[in-house]
Amino acid sequence: MKIAMVLRNDDFTREVEQQIKEKLRASRHTYQIIDHPGEQPDLVLSIGGDGTLLEAVHQYGLDATYVGIHTGHLGFYADWRPEELNDFVQALDEGNPQIVEYPTVQCDIHMSDGSMHSKWALNELVIRNASLSTLVVCVFINGDEFETFRGDGLIVSSPSGSTAYNKAVNGAIVHPSIEAIQLSEIASINNQTYRTINSSLVLPSHHEIEFIVMNPEIMIGLDREQAVWKQVRAITCRVGSNKVKFARYKKLPFWGRVRNSFIAD
Ligand code: NAD
């Protein structure tokens, strides 16, 4: 089995990486650790936090299968703790993990000159104005005008991303088996003059959101990546046709993760 590793840059994570490598070498199975970006691994091992996993999926893309070891606080995408490395390698040896697939957000960024850039995110797309002034965006759903948003920003999250930035703006938590995207507002202006729905919207996989952008420069965030874009005319978003695959070697129900992350000690 060819394994690629993506690490958070800290001493403890590097220590865990060394321990894992030793245990894989000592195993009765043959594991090959690959570190050439061009080579396709059978499994990508993310060691770090949720951000490390997000980095890994953008590095190795939608054809790979992922598993995470968290070296900080409990992660949403990582199943294994550093003290469980023996169990982890034993589970790898036994093989036959359940493959769980998480939907992505697909978006096309249409520029004023007619060109188009296709992007995807595992957590979310974020649109904000490039400066501190108001973001102004006309929102269309399935080609019909819905509202004109004025405020700090908009988030289009995937189900697995619904517990991240989306949750911080009071969006709903959506189970990752539901193929949907969620549109949430960041600080919308709602008064006698301007009005938005001011609730999060959950859209099914056959629906499309279109944002017509009024600002000359906006900030676009896709998971960890963020950049200022000039002359964006419109952005369309839908549920991605590809999902991110996770190898699950033990049962960790989604609602248990939610409870452990946000409620339990
Ligand atoms: P980071 O280091 O700023 O950490 C953000 C936090 O979000 C971490 O605690 C991380 O564990 C958590 N997180 C990431 N994905 C999650 C998920 N799917 N469910 C629950 N929690 C999750 O940034 P990072 O680690 O590089 O993660 C990038 C993510 O940070 C973005 O995709 C965005 O969702 C999130 N973010 C959140 C806020 C906010 O809550 N106000 C603001 C900006 C970015």
pLDDT in tens, 234-251: 999 999 999 999 999 999
Catalytic residues: 50
Residues 254-265 as b/e (b if ≥16 CB within 10 A, e otherwise) read beebbeeeeeee
Q: Count CA atoms closer than 13 A to 149's CA, side-chain side.
A: 29
CA–centroid distance, 139 to ligand 1, in Å, is 25
CA–centroid distance, 104 to ligand 1, in Å, is 16
- Measured CA to CA, the distance from residue 132 to residue 109 in angstroms comes to 22
Whether the predicted pLDDT of 36 surpasses 80: no
What are the Cα distances from residue 78, in Å, to 1, 99, 100, 114?
20, 14, 13, 40
CA–centroid distance, 23 to ligand 1, in Å, is 31
What are the Cα distances from residue 60, in Å, to 12, 37, 54?
23, 8, 10
DSSP secondary structure, 32-51, as one string: EEE--TTSPPSEEEEEE-HH
What pLDDT does 237 receive?
98
Q: What integer is the mean pLDDT of 148-174?
A: 98
Atom of ligand 1 minimally distant from the CA of 49: 11
Per the CB < 8 A criterion, the answer to whether 63 and 245 are in contact is no
pLDDT in tens, 73-105: 778 999 999 999 999 999 999 999 999 999 999
pLDDT in tens, 121-153: 999 999 999 999 999 999 999 999 999 999 999
Q: Count CA atoms closer than 13 A to 159's CA, side-chain side.
A: 19
**Domains of the chain in sequence order:** 2-97+249-262 (3.40.50.10330), 104-241 (2.60.200.30)
Ligand 1, CB cutoff 6 Å, lining residues: 49-51, 54, 75-76, 123-124, 160-161, 163-165, 168, 223-224
- Measured CA to CA, the distance from residue 22 to residue 26 in angstroms comes to 6
What pLDDT does 233 receive?
98
Reduced to 3 states (helix: H, G, I; strand: E, B; else coil), residue 21 is helix
Per the CB < 8 A criterion, the answer to whether 196 and 152 are in contact is no
Helices (H), the chain: 11-26, 50-60, 85-94, 165-168, 254-262
